[in-house]
Amino acid sequence: MSHRTHSASRRNFLLRGACATASAGAIGAALSSLRMTQLVTAAQGNANDYRSLVCLFMFGGNDSANLVIPNGAGSDVDSYAAYQQIRGHLAVPQSELLAIPNPGGDGRDFAMPSFTPELAQRYTDGELALVANIGSLVAPISLQEYYRGGEAIRPYQLFSHKEQLEQWQSALPQNVDKGWGGRLADYIQHLNGTSEMSMSVSLGGANLFEVGSEVFQYGMSSEGAIGLEGFDDSARSQVRRQALGNILGGQRDHLLEQAYADTMNRGIDQHALLSTVLATRPPLQTVFPESPLGAQLRMIAQLIGARNEFGLKRQIFFCSKPGFDTHETQENQPALLGDVSRCIAAFNDAMTELGASEEVTLFTASDFGRTTESNGKGSDHGWGGHHVVTGGAVQGGKIYGRMPVMEMGGPDDVGRGRWLPTTAVDELAATLAHWFGVPDSDLELVVPNLGRFSNRDLGFMG
């Protein structure tokens, strides 16, 4: 069924007041102009291609200090020895590292852990890019500005799961009533014409990322569309089903009643469409891991395979994997990231099988990074972290952004090895939105605070 998640965000709006970087009125006015801008983009020749974005959200805050690891020799701050000293028992043994190239970088050597061999290989083969030290930001911020404090320059409730998750998925520091994926869908929905299938589909539960003003996220399970329970083919059941249809039909004076009826009808219609189309699709030959994330990505691949039957030119997907809040369970991270690695590799293989590799881009996201310093058993809430972007259109085999210095109290450390982000979520979102078909002149309609940052395009998309 379709979902709206506006209530909590509405409370946040009332509690937090005006947005620190752009007034709610200004953002609302910009978003209300989407229909006007759609007329502009409709003439730009984007309607003849297909593109899809897949957000893989790692809930809990992935400790990415063990995803991209300093691998230099000697005793300098960027060596493996410095990493090992800081991380202590959290450090991945050097014998279990896979060296990766760093072309065009700053001369430092890096590696990925042996429990993510698929990610390391695809990076080396140029099929996957790494985005370094990315996080939620109000605006670019120095260590001095951070220590002076104040929410005008710090993200709201920094290091909090809820608020940082919202800021990652919305690309807004406050007043996060819509996600940047939802704003993107609102902007470009005209390319899908009269298709009855929603552009925004979630296999990972209701999420803020896909919440928009006009395009509703459609939630389904990895087994298929979620239909109405309690009905079958019996005559009595069909009578009850007709009665439900009569109740949901017609117009109502009460707005909430009408919204409920519209949502139910939309969900019923999309369930019927999905069930019919998926039943006719041949099974994928690509074998996915037998894990919840593998099942989610398998279903996303099947939906992408049916893009022509649905009549879609653009799709946005959300999938998720929980378990990354490793305060006391850091020993679980190899299994967690290992599953992510295998599932992404299988998904990429499925895109090749479907002939859609150049048209589909998957990126990872998480609440925040974690402390490089151990708390004794695991790592605590941090800020900046590393993420991957992969797909046939990705200019891979390269680290985008600046890797932080592995030094406690160093130039990137706001305390306990919490990295001060040097790349904003806004810049990642804008880069993907531009590839998706949003012209540079309209990127602020999807990423309202983009003008505060120096990179409108990080360069990892072809």
Residue type, 61: G
Say if residue 157's pLDDT is above 80: yes
The residues near 288 (Cβ < 8 Å, ≥ 6 apart) are 294, 295, 297, 298, 301, 343, 346, 347, 350
Span 294-342, pLDDT tens digits: 999 999 999 999 999 999 999 999 999 999 999 999 999 999 999 999 9
Tell me what percent of the residues of the chain surpass a pLDDT of 90.
71
Q: Which residue has the tokens 């006719």?
A: 280
Say if residue 6's pLDDT is above 70: no
Q: Which stretches within 32-134 are classed as H helix?
A: 34-41, 80-87, 117-124
Reduce the DSSP state of residue 279 to 3 states and report it: helix
Domain membership of residue 457 (yes or no) is no
Counts of helices then strands in the chain (DSSP H, E): 15, 15
pLDDT at 333: 97
The residues near 323 (Cβ < 8 Å, ≥ 6 apart) are 59, 60, 329, 332, 336
Which of these, 123, 41, 168, lies nearest to 436 by C-alpha position?
A: 41
pLDDT at 42: 41
Tell me what percent of the residues of the chain surpass a pLDDT of 70.
82
Beta strand 128-135 pairing with 200-202: unpaired
* pLDDT (average), residues 399-403: 97
- Show the 3-state SS of 376-445: CCCEEECCCEEEEEECCCECCCCEECCCCCCCCCCCCECCCCCECCCEEHHHHHHHHHHHHCCCHHHHHH
Residues 320/296, Cβ–Cβ less than 8 Å = yes
pLDDT at 2: 37
Span 93-127, pLDDT tens digits: 999 999 999 998 888 999 999 999 999 999 999 99
Start-to-end C-alpha separation, the chain: 35
Please count the structural domains in the chain.
1
Domain membership of residue 447 (yes or no) is yes
Domain membership of residue 458 (yes or no) is no
Domain membership of residue 365 (yes or no) is yes
Span 356-396, pLDDT tens digits: 999 999 999 999 999 999 999 999 999 999 999 999 999 99
Q: pLDDT band for 462, please (50, 70, 90 cuts).
A: confident
Reduce the DSSP state of residue 363 to 3 states and report it: strand
Kindly state the tokens that stand for 76: 């300098």
What is the pLDDT of the chain when averaged over all its residues? Answer: 87
Angle (CA) 402-346-344 rounded to 5° is: 25
* pLDDT (average), residues 270-290: 88
Which of these, 319, 300, 321, lies nearest to 58 by C-alpha position?
A: 321
What is the Cα–Cα distance from 20 to 151, expressed in whole angstroms? 8
Q: pLDDT band for 253, please (50, 70, 90 cuts).
A: confident
Domain span at residue 217 reads 2-452
Residues 431/447, Cβ–Cβ less than 8 Å = no
Residues 58/342, Cβ–Cβ less than 8 Å = no
Reduce the DSSP state of residue 80 to 3 states and report it: helix
What is the Cα–Cα distance from 100 to 397, expressed in whole angstroms? 8
Domain membership of residue 460 (yes or no) is no
What is the Cα–Cα distance from 406 to 68, expressed in whole angstroms? 11
Span 17-72, pLDDT tens digits: 323 333 334 444 454 454 444 444 443 444 469 999 999 999 999 999 999 999 99
Least confident of 36-50, 142-156, 189-203, 364-378: 36-50
pLDDT at 245: 66
The secondary structure of residue 358, as a DSSP letter, is: G
Which of these, 133, 199, 196, lies nearest to 405 by C-alpha position?
A: 133
* pLDDT (average), residues 183-198: 95
Domain membership of residue 91 (yes or no) is yes
What is the Cα–Cα distance from 367 to 385, expressed in whole angstroms? 10
Task: Give helix 333-354 / helix 117-124 axis angle, nearest 10°.
Answer: 50
Q: Which stretches within 45-155 are classed as H helix?
A: 80-87, 117-124, 143-148
Reduce the DSSP state of residue 461 to 3 states and report it: strand
Q: pLDDT band for 255, please (50, 70, 90 cuts).
A: confident
Beta strand 314-321 pairing with 51-58: parallel
What is the Cα–Cα distance from 368 to 165, expressed in whole angstroms? 8
What is the Cα–Cα distance from 169 to 178, expressed in whole angstroms? 9
pLDDT at 7: 35
Domain membership of residue 462 (yes or no) is no
DSSP H or E segment with residue 360: strand 360-366
Say if residue 347's pLDDT is above 90: yes
pLDDT at 76: 85
Q: Compute the residue count for the chain.
A: 462
pLDDT at 3: 36
Least confident of 7-21, 181-195, 436-450: 7-21
